Each structure stands twice: as C-alpha cells, then as structure tokens.
Homo-oligomer: A and B are copies of this chain.
Amino acid sequence: MSITIKQIAKDLQLAISTVSKALRDSHEISAATKARVFAYVSEVDYTPNPYASSLKGRRSGNIAVVLPEVADSFFSEAINGIEKVAQEKGYHVMVYLTHDDAKKEQAIVRDFRNGRVDGALISIASDSQDHRHLFDLSSRNIPVVFFDRICAEVDTASVVTNDYQCGYDATQYLISKGCKNIAFLSLFDDLQIIKNRREGFRRAVLESTLDAHKDMILYLTNDETKNKEKISELLSAKNRPDGIIGSVEKVTTQAYDVCNNLAISIPNDIKIIGFSHLQIAHLLNPSLTTITQPAFEMGKTASTLLFKSLEKKNTAIAREQIVIPSVLIPRGSTG
C-alpha cells in the first residue's frame, strides 16, 4: 500500500496543497521545500496515480502539443515557448508528431479523450480535411488552442502570424531589389497559412507593373526529390525567374541546392527570400533573407491562452485570433 499525499503533508508538517504543488514542480513553491518533499517521497516510495485521479475527474497535469514535425526550426522554437509557460504552471508537455498525416493526427487526438491530457495545442497536418476529431475534443471539454496551422472551423482561440501581409511584403521587397519575374514555392494546396502567404504574393504582383502572367506558383510537397526536380525544371526554363519566395524553410533550402547544382548564382542571377525561423540563416552561403516568424512568442501565447482556460471551471475558449507579426530580415540572398 503506497503512502497518500495527505500522510506526506502530515509527516512534513506542510499543507496538502503545498505538497501537491511541490510534486508538480510548481514555481509557487520554494526550491528548499521542493527538495524536502522530493527527498521524502523518494524515501517513502510515494507514487502519484494519474489514472485513478483521472477516473475521479481530476486532472492529468499534462498538455499535448500536436504538430507536423520538429525538424523545422519554427516548430522546435514554438515548443520552447510552450514549455516555458507550462513549466511555470507545473504541467508536463507531451509532444506528438503527425508528419503531415491526417490519419495519424486523428489517431493521436482520439487518444486524448479519456483524461490523458487536460488540453491541447495543435498545428494541424497539411492534409487534414476531416476535422471531426478536432470538434470532438471541444465537445468533450478538452480545450484546444491552434497555432500557426489553424483549423478555422473549430470555435476556439488561435495564434497566427500575419502571413498574408508577409507574402505581400516579401514580394514587394524582391521587386524593390529589381526582380521582374518572381516564383512562389508553395507547399500543398489546402493549408490556410500557405494560402495566405500565396494570396499576399498574388496581390503584390497584381498591384505591381510586373506581368501578371509571370505570376508563377510551384506546388511542392514533403517529397524532397520530387520538389528538387520541379524546382530544377522551373530554373532550367528559358524564362526562368529572377526571384524566389520559399513558403517554408525546407523548400527554401531545396531551392539553394538546385541553384548550386545548376550553377545559378544567388543573389546575382536569382534572389531568394524564405519563411523560416532558422537560427543559422546568417551562416548560409549566401546568408538567407528571411521572413522570421515569432515562433517562441506564438508558442508562449497559445500556451497562455490554454492555461487561462484550464484554470477556470468552464474550460470553453472563446473564438479569438491573435496575430503576432513576423519580421523581414534582409541578408545576402537578396543582394
């Protein structure tokens, strides 16, 4: 028979809530008290039972972060922002990767139903079309906040950046640098953030003196080999672009590879700007001009909204969209 939290509190002459918070590593509890509690529970072999608690309707102390991948620097930095808040609140963060597979996303989210997590922060898979699993979470009183790749149909809060404006600004920037023929390297067709970036690009081309026919959009996927073939084809054409906007980090570095293969000089022959949070963008050859998303801030804000809901009795989150602007950082790839 394992010892109860009540008994631990008694033995240590602490309040039950203090012991409980200490065990969750809450910032409200001093390091000294936590050390005492941890030393004691190690000794007496206390094991919190998350399942028993969940069955009684109490909380798991976990939040889930569901996102496509961690290889992209945007997502790895967003996790840091999320964890900063979660740690302050004494929660554990569990990261689940969908690899842009809607079926995997459904299976993961389906698994959240029975108290495994108290809430979720989700950046949806790019091929996510059937959103029933997301509606389902709300209806089960598991609050969700979307960030970056949002699902607009679900009534909740979301945190995004100003993708449309950034698509527009990136295009205008290339035009200001003398580009007359700009290609947009898109990713998938159905992801809202990519659509917004693309629409911003289209608008800027329409408003410019550039020939709207030259409004070139290349649709790429997660298949690196095929992407490079498509980009090679584009850059080998007679009327090849003199400017490229990469809608995400990986298609931008793929464009670098193709330029190297075809001995096309960046920025002399072609100028490149990419949506990216790459920490080492300045170390590339040439250094990469980026639209840098506020990844850490977006994660932090989404997480704060989720905890605001978790701290209330009624966990419903009102529909609200918070927009945190990105920043264009000029570097060598645009001359």
Contact = CB atoms under 8 A, between A and B. Distances in A.
Interface of A: 24-25, 38, 42, 47-52, 54-55, 61, 69-71, 73, 76-77, 79-80, 83, 87, 92-97, 99, 103-104, 106-108, 110-111, 113-116, 132, 253, 256-257, 260, 279-280, 283-287
A61 B110 CA distance: 13
Given A253-B279, A280-B284, 15 more contacts: A25-B103, A48-B110, A48-B113, A51-B115, A70-B95, A71-B77, A83-B97, A93-B97, A94-B96, A95-B96, A116-B116, A253-B280, A256-B283, A284-B284, A285-B287
Contact of A79 (B49, B55, B97): B97
A177 to B, nearest CB: 20
B113 A47 contact: yes
Contacts of A95: 70, 94-97
Contacts of A108: 92
Contact of A51 (B24, B54, B61): B54
24 contacts: A24-B107, A25-B103, A25-B104, A48-B111, A48-B114, A49-B114, A50-B111, A51-B55, A61-B111, A70-B76, A70-B95, A71-B77, A71-B279, A87-B104, A93-B96, A94-B94, A94-B95, A95-B96, A95-B97, A253-B279, A253-B283, A256-B280, A260-B283, A285-B287
A99 B83 contact: yes
Copies in the complex: 2
Contact of A114 (B38, B50, B77, B107): B50
Nearest to A224: B279
A117 B113 CA distance: 16
A256 B280 CA distance: 10
Contacts of A93: 96-97
Contacts of A280: 253, 256, 280, 284
Contacts of A80: 71
A101 to B, nearest CB: 9
